[in-house]
Structure 1
Amino acid sequence: MFNNAIVRKPCPNMVEGLTEANLGKPDYHKALLQHARYIEVLRQLGLKIDVLEADNRFPDSVFVEDVAVCTPHCAVITNPGAPSRNKETTLIMDIIHKHYEQIEQIKSPGTLEGGDVMAISSEYFIGLSDRTNEDGAQQLIDILERYNLSGHMVDLSDVLHLKTGVSYLENNNLLVYGELKGKSIFDSFNKIEVPDDEAYGASCLWINGTVLVPAGFPKTKKKVEDAGYEIIELEMTEFEKLDGGMSCLSLRF
């Protein structure tokens, strides 16, 4: 169960954010409305929210998940692999100190982004992507082991981040898309496969028994419903244009 979340408001400069989606530039005002609704739903589901102000120096800073990993015992400040995002870690320090006494940090030449880190109980799966390298992943594993947690690397070739293609819905259920469907490291889980024509549908988020599902992906929505979950659909179009998923918009702990 989650009790807290940290979010950051979108900045006007988000329209210049990093993307490979080829879906056009986001509409800033629509993004504000979608983000406000996201916060409203997290509150409805029982989370206390720290809302950080927008920072126009960093177009992608709305995606706060990439700059820290929050575990039950410590927080880890990451070292983003995208050069334009590297200094975003300085923006998160104060709020992380508010919530955690034990704070660790990934150091160069290691790179790590939180979108590549999926926690399942005491195990952490770490995607090796264009944004997270083996050095950064190993640093995280070493940190986790000091707190009696464990980590496992997952090689990636197609997706931007690990959680671009996989979402853990608790109860041993894993929503998977694309290359993640065939990863043997996940064979012990019940895999709910996202249809090939609904790739962004993999960007779901479990919050305290309810699954947040991006609107516009009916086949994925039905599969999640058929697995027995209560769902809430959220419009995510403007964040999809920046390769940003549901989990990217918050740090939850």
Structure 2
Amino acid sequence: MGARRRRPHGNMPGGEPMGRGRAAGGAFSAASAGGGRASLACPSAVPAARAPRPSPPSPACSMAGLGGGLAAFGRCTHAVVRALPESLCRQALRSAAGPEVDFARAEREHQLYVGVLRSKLGLQVLELPADESLPDCVFVEDVAVVCEETALITRPGAPSRRKEVEAMKRVLESLNLNIVEMVDENATLDGGDVLFTGREFFVGLSRRTNQRGAEILADTFKDYAVSTVPVHDSLHLKSFCSMAGPNLIAIGSSEAAQKALKTMQQMSDHRYDKLTVPDDAAANCIYLNIPSKGHVLLHRAPEEYPESAKVFEKLKDHMLIPIANTELEKVDGSLTCCSVLINKASEL
């Protein structure tokens, strides 16, 4: 079961679940699983009764599954991406053995992805150079979580990826964001485990992200409730879910995905809509709210996941942009992995 951190109060480590049970029906227009809420442990927190949840502001947030509270949800002005190193083909981390990445094809697919962000959607794209000593560096999502004017520089769960944060920190500083660095050696956090809905955060507890990492995220973004979600059989939480629109969560059909969904239902006070797709990998998509174009959704190409593409086609109020990700998927890459999306208020 997941755990819940509420603002402004919390429990000390080892505290009992706090708060009253949910009303029947739960969130996501589905029945909620039973159980209470446990707060995230925090050294500075003291035991307290549940307090009314503060109303969230209207943020501009991103972690390559962009949030932006309510009316501003999905607004974006900038994208940070990174070129592919050739070392990715043989040295990138992967959860299972498989065919080698075709570098030329991977580069073409990535260039098309970046081209959509820059040319089709009009974002200001900041592209970091590849670093051959960092074979996973194209997956920029994992090294930063951006919400409003604050950027949390993470401590990735894989030690081989920790130097990736240096270039990301520099580029986010150039945007005059407030930088918070995760320096606790007991903490790990990958951005791929962080789902921001515009109202709250869900943080996957996975092979790459631990409880202490979730606590530091909660301390960084104090205006939002944070719930932890156990992740089994997948690399990250967003390996099988993402935001597909305001109030809309795309979710895969696997047992692991559906179990995580039930946990999120249980943890949340809000009723979200859900969009269930047959393929877990296809549930990772990128929603943007572009003033000149309206609702935009980047999703996996029909030739990759035809049945899931049919589900996305039902979103008649979205501008649908299919994106191929055949090669980076071989090393556990998803669409959200390859960008950090940022909304600079001064640019609106």
If the length of structure 1 is used for normalisation, what is the TM-score? 0.94
Q: Is 1:141–1:152's contact at 8 Å kept on the other side of the alignment?
A: no
RMSD over aligned Cα, in angstroms? 1.4
Q: Does 1:221 align with 2:297?
A: no
Residue 240 of structure 1 aligns with which residue? 329
Moved more, 51-60 or 212-221: 212-221
Q: 1:184 aligns with which of 251, 254, 262?
A: 262
The within-5 A match list for 1:83-232 is: 83-106=159-182, 107-145=184-222, 148-177=223-252, 178=254, 179-182=256-259, 183-187=261-265, 188-195=271-278, 198-208=279-289, 209-215=295-301, 216-228=304-316, 229-232=318-321
TM-fit CA distance, 1:230? 2.2
TM-fit CA distance, 1:203? 2.0
Q: Is 1:21–1:240's contact at 8 Å kept on the other side of the alignment?
A: no
Instruction: Number of aligned residue pairs: give it.
Output: 249
Q: 1:2 aligns with which of 76, 81, 89?
A: 76
SS of 2:122's partner is: coil
TM-fit CA distance, 1:98? 0.9
Q: Is 1:79–1:113's contact at 8 Å kept on the other side of the alignment?
A: yes
Q: After TM superposition, which residue ranges in structure 1, 4 or more long, deviate above 6 angstroms?
A: none
Highest CA radius of gyration, 1 or 2? Answer: 2
**d(CA) in 2 for partners of 1:5 and 1:244?**
17
What letter is aligned with 1:99?
Answer: L
- Runs of 5+ in structure 2 lacking a partner? 1-74, 266-270, 290-294, 343-348
**d(CA) in 2 for partners of 1:5 and 1:21?**
30
Q: 1:23-49: CA deviations, max 9, x gaps? A: 311111111111110011012112110
SS of 1:241's partner is: helix
What letter is aligned with 2:326?
Answer: T
TM-fit CA distance, 1:154? 1.1
Q: Is 2:186–2:212's contact at 8 Å kept on the other side of the alignment?
A: yes
SS of 2:280's partner is: helix
**d(CA) in 2 for partners of 1:34 and 1:252?**
19
Q: Is 1:181–1:193's contact at 8 Å kept on the other side of the alignment?
A: no
**d(CA) in 1 for partners of 2:187 and 2:195?**
18
Q: Is 2:202–2:264's contact at 8 Å kept on the other side of the alignment?
A: no
TM-fit CA distance, 1:185? 4.2
TM-fit CA distance, 1:88? 1.1
Identity among equivalent pairs (%): 35
Q: Is 2:80–2:125's contact at 8 Å kept on the other side of the alignment?
A: yes
SS of 2:131's partner is: coil
Q: Does 1:70 align with 2:153?
A: no
TM-fit CA distance, 1:73? 2.7
Q: 1:135-176: CA deviations, max 9, x gaps? A: 11111111111xx23322111112111110101112321111
What letter is aligned with 2:153?
Answer: I
What letter is aligned with 2:262?
Answer: S
**d(CA) in 1 for partners of 2:284 and 2:175?**
26
- Cα pair distance change 1:152/1:122, threshold 3 Å: same
Q: Is 2:257–2:280's contact at 8 Å kept on the other side of the alignment?
A: no
What letter is aligned with 1:128?
Answer: L
Moved more, 100-109 or 236-245: 100-109
- Cα pair distance change 1:97/1:250, threshold 3 Å: same
Higher helix share: 1
